Amino acid sequence: MDISVIIVSYNTADLTLRCIASVRSSTGEKEIFVVDNASTDGSAAAVRKKFPEVPLIENPQNLGFGAANNRALKICRGRYVVFLNPDTVVRPDALSRAVSYMDAHPDIGLAGARILNPDGSPQESISWRYPGEKFAKDETKGLPGKIACVLGAFMIARRPLIDELGGFDEDFFLYGEDEDLAWRVREKGFSIGYIEEAEVFHWGGRSEAQTPPPEVFAKKLLAEYLFYAKHYRPQTVARIKRSQRRKAIYRLITLGLTAPFSRDRFAHENKTRRYRLMLDMARP
pLDDT tens digits, 215-224: 888 999 999 9
Q: Which of 208, 232, 263 is the last residue of a domain?
A: 208
pLDDT in tens, 73-125: 999 999 999 999 999 999 999 999 999 999 999 999 999 999 999 999 999 99
| pLDDT at position 213 | 81
Contacts of 265 (CB under 8 A, 6+ apart): none
Pair 60, 192 in one domain: yes
Q: Which amino acid is at 210?
A: Q
Report, as an integer, the average pLDDT of 164-193. 97
Report CA torsion sign: 47, 49, 50, 55.
positive
| Cβ atoms within 10 Å, residue 169 | 19
Pair 15, 149 in one domain: yes
- Entry pTM: 0.93
Pair 264, 138 in one domain: no
Total domains in the chain come to 2
Give the span between the Cα atoms of 102 and 193, in whole angstroms. 9
Assess contact for 30 and 96: CB atoms under 8 A.
no
Pair 77, 52 in one domain: yes
Pair 162, 231 in one domain: no
Give the span between the Cα atoms of 114 and 9, in whole angstroms. 22
pLDDT in tens, 131-176: 999 999 999 999 999 999 999 999 999 999 999 999 999 999 999 9
Give the phi and the psi of residue 62 in degrees, each rounded to 5: -75, 105
3-state secondary structure of 156: strand
pLDDT in tens, 33-56: 999 999 999 999 999 999 999 999
